[in-house]
Amino acid sequence: MTIDYLNYLEIRDEYPDIDYEIRGILLARAQNGATIDEIRDDYQKLTGVRFPVNENITDFLLTITHVMVFCNENGTRIFNIMPTETTRHLLDLVLNQKTSQQSE
């Protein structure tokens, strides 16, 4: 399977900040990782716009740099984010903060 960044050019034309937004969503949930549903839900809540990709969402998310995914024991795909130079300090904070589930 090859994932082609070019497939999503139209999405990126229309939503120029989407890569930053997805990385921000994943960073805020980095302690537990995020499912596709959680990502879609956060996207809508934080931007006020419906998540613009309806098919092959995993493929799309994996065209965003520093995004990673694994399959958990239930077969659910859990997404997370690698540190980047500009966000490493925030990721360190999130990963080491209190472990209680965020309710908000």
Partner 1 sequence: GVVGGACADVTQRVYEVEKYQKRNKLMEILQDESEGTIVFVDTKRGADFLASLLSETEYPTTSIHGSRLQRQRETALADFKAGRMKVLIATSVAARGLDIRNVKHVVNYDMPSCIDEYVHRIGRTGRVGNSGKASSFFDPQRDAAIAGDLVKILEGAEQEVPQFLKRFSCAGGGG
Contact residues for partner 1, defined by CB under 8 A? 17, 20-21, 23-25, 27-29, 42, 46-49, 84, 86-87, 89-90, 93-94, 96-98, 100, 102, 104
* Rounded least distance, CB 3 to partner 1, Å: 22
Phi-psi region at 99: left, alpha or beta (left = phi > 0; alpha = psi -120 to 50) = alpha
CB nearer to partner 1: give 45 or 75.
Answer: 45
The helix (H) or strand (E) run that includes residue 81 is strand 77-81
* Rounded least distance, CB 97 to partner 1, Å: 5
* Residues whose CB falls within 8 Å of the CB of residue 18, separated by 6 or more in sequence, listed in order: 11, 12, 52, 64
